[in-house]
Amino acid sequence: MEPGPPDDIDVSLRRFLSEDIGRRDVTTDSTVPSGTRTRGELVAKSDCVVSGLPVARRVFELLDPDLAWQDEAAAGARVAAPATLARLSGRARAILTAERVALNLLQRMSGIATATRRYVDAVAGTPCRILDTRKTVPGLRPFDRQAVRDGGGVNHRYDLSEMVLIKDNHRRLAGGVGRAVAAARADARGVEIEVEVESESELREALLAGADWILIDNQPPAIVARWCAIAREAPRRVFVEASGNMRLETVRAYAEAGVDAVSVGALTHSVTAADVSLELFPE
């Protein structure tokens, strides 16, 4: 998981648990006797691509370090409902209290992985890759990016420090494409520079300025194909990305237009969660 050491993820998970538990789990504490043990299964009730089982397991472990866990599905596997994803056993109170946070993350991650796989399948047979974006809920980016990878997609830049991406507002405030690229080249040495273009003249200016990546935004496939051909004539190899309201019905046309990648914001900003439940029984 990104970023940094595993402890970083634990910090996030503890914060999520604290938010959900509040002062205490009054329902569980008042109805389930202390010392009660339980066994259970995580069951997918919708067809999905699996992602997030290690995260769900860790949520439970933070409240029950002696939890017993057995994966029944691998990350990236397609499963048809109903499907048992994992089996677990341990302290009933801890498992019940952690249930909602574990399920929320598992359902979201599996939903993202499922959507990503649909886009990856849609461009199968072409060299085109499916990229995610930074359109993630604050605090969930490492989880969302892992889910994209589990679905067969590729991660774009993690944060603003990782890559220069000059968009329309940057261009206007910098005084144009050429000036923006030159300023970025002088200040952010060693960092790749991507430029969003909205016209053929901006494309040619970005190529002349030495952009490493070209982002063609909100253009029909025919325009993308023509601009992609222009980019391929540049003396040095340029990575070409297409974006802008991508849909499953249209993404293959963009892949066949010759781009290296298509970025899809909807993978993470419009998640349809997988349906996963926890079925518990007395041990």
Q: State residue 3's pLDDT score.
A: 60
Q: Which DSSP letter does residue 154 get?
A: B
Confidence of residue 24 (pLDDT cuts 50, 70, 90): very high
| CATH label of the domain that carries residue 275 | 3.90.1170.20
Length of the chain: 283
Name the nearest CA neighbour of 111 among 281, 267, 259: 267
Give dist(CA 262, CA 169) in Å, integer.
21
The CATH number given to whatever domain includes residue 207 is: 3.20.20.70
Residue 127 clears pLDDT 80, i.e. is over it: yes
Task: Specify if 1 maps to a domain.
Answer: no
Confidence of residue 6 (pLDDT cuts 50, 70, 90): low
Are 51 and 74 in contact by the 8 Å Cβ rule? The answer is no
Report yes or no on 114 lying in a domain. yes
What is d(CA 90, CA 104) in angstroms, rounded to the nearest whole number? Answer: 20
Nearest CA to 76 out of 149, 1, 2 is that of 149
For the chain, the helix, strand and coil percentages under 3-state DSSP, each to the nearest 5: 45, 20, 35
Q: Is 23 exposed, middle or buried (0-12, 13-18, 19+ CB in 10 A)?
A: exposed
- Do both 99 and 202 map to the same domain? no
Helix H segments across 158-282? 168-174, 177-187, 200-209, 221-232, 251-256, 266-269
Contact criterion met (CB below 8 Å) for 270 and 114: no
Number of domains in the chain: 2
Note whether 175 and 208 are same-domain residues.
Answer: yes
Catalytic residues: 100, 135, 167, 196, 217
Residue-level pLDDT at 4: 59
Structural domain including 199 reads 122-269
d(CA 254, CA 216): 11
pLDDT in tens, 195-228: 999 999 999 999 999 999 999 999 999 999 999 9
Digit-coded pLDDT (tens) for 46-83: 999 999 999 999 999 999 999 999 999 999 999 999 99
The backbone region for 247, taken as left when phi is positive above 0, alpha when psi lies in -120 to 50, beta otherwise, is beta
C-alpha span between 181 and 190 (Å, rounded): 13
* 104, 231: one domain: no
Asked whether residue 247 is domain-assigned, the answer is yes
Q: What is the pLDDT of residues 82-122, one digit of tens each?
A: 999 999 999 999 999 999 999 999 999 999 999 999 999 99
